[in-house]
Amino acid sequence: MGRSRRPRPTRLAAKLRQIRTALGLTQQQMFERLGDAETSLYRGHVGEYETGKRVPPLPVLLQYARVAGVYVDVLIDDDLDLPERLPLMTEREWVIRCERVGRQR
């Protein structure tokens, strides 16, 4: 395998920031929603994703998509826009969803 960098979506960082702000979450709250044993996420990563300093790994992109209620391709395809209104889950809905995912593993 080559050592060349993979292409980065140019709008990814802005979309990730847009998701967090549209949901009214702080970076800490977003970290809490994204993090689990599979994502290997650290607190400072959220800010680095939003500024484009770091590209999230696939499991983190999947979590972002789930939190926002969009398909992953909306995040990575620069030709696609996020919906104007993101599905906002209540805290209760979020807990129920997490419990279901945990049971499926």
The total number of residues written for the chain in this structure = 105
Domain range 12-104, CATH architecture: Orthogonal Bundle (1.10)
pLDDT at residue 9 tops 80? yes
> What's the pLDDT tens digit per position in 50-104?
999 999 999 999 999 988 989 999 999 999 999 988 865 555 665 666 676 666 5
| Contact residues for 93 (Cβ-Cβ < 8 A; gap 6+) | none
pTM value is 0.77
Do residues 75 and 37 lie in contact, with contact meaning Cβ atoms separated by under 8 Å? no
